[in-house]
Amino acid sequence: MVEDKFLSYNAMDKLMRKAGALRVSDDAKEALAVALERKALDIAQVAKKMAEHAGRRTVTKKDIELALNQ
Amino acid sequence: MVEDKFLSYNAMDKLMRKAGALRVSDDAKEALAVALERKALDIAQVAKKMAEHAGRRTVTKKDIELALNQ
């Protein structure tokens, strides 16, 4: 697993199997983790701005929800 | 943490902090995890179809990449 990786291969494997995949290669787990982390960072950055805009230092569920609708 | 959850609060916290958030509420971590899992399942289902279309039982990186571009 490369550095700075927060999402485990194990979690990616479970998600893929929940979606019906029988076998999943390691590079597929890696690619899914990278894509999800990019998406998460995008959402998190917007949510952080939303919290700041509301005068808070704590990011809350409402900030995430607003970020998801951007 | 609710059932069927594959992405940990700890991973969500790390991602949010990487994006610059100082504090993150638990319900924000939950909301981010739910959103990412939905996204992951969408990608995984498309990737599974791509693998089947190519006559494979193993989902590979190429299937994920193709699914990401849908």
Side chain identity at residue B54, one-letter code: A
Q: CB-based contact (8 Å) between B16 and chain A?
A: yes
pLDDT band, very low/low/confident/very high, at A23 (cuts 50, 70, 90): very high
- Residue B23 Ramachandran class (φ > 0 left, ψ -120 to 50 alpha, else beta): beta
pLDDT at res. A2: 47
Nearest residue to A60 via CA among A52, A68, A51, A69? A51
- Answer yes or no: do B7 and A11 touch at CB < 8 A: yes
pTM, full prediction: 0.91
Task: State the Cα–Cα distance between residues A11 and B8, nearest whole angstrom.
Answer: 9
Q: Flag whether residue B1 sits within 8 Å of chain A, measured between CB atoms.
A: no
Token look-up 């590079």 returns A27
pLDDT at B5: 78
- In this predicted structure, the answer to whether residue B4 has a pLDDT above a threshold of 80 is no
Chain A residues in contact with B1 (beta carbon < 8 A): none
Residue of B70, B60, B63, B4 whose CA lies nearest to B34: B4
Residues in B closer than 8 angstroms to A7, CB to CB, are: 7, 11
A11 interfacial to chain B (CB closer than 8 Å): yes
Nearest Cα to A17, choosing from B3, B42, B44, B17? B44
- The pLDDT of residue B70 is 81
pLDDT in tens, B9-42: 999 999 999 999 999 999 999 999 999 999 999 9
Cβ of B12: how many Cβ atoms within 10 Å?
25
Q: How confident is the model at residue A5 (pLDDT cuts 50, 70, 90)?
A: confident
Residue B36: what are its φ and ψ, rounded to 5°? -70, -35
Angle at A51 between CA A48 and CA A56, to 5 degrees: 125
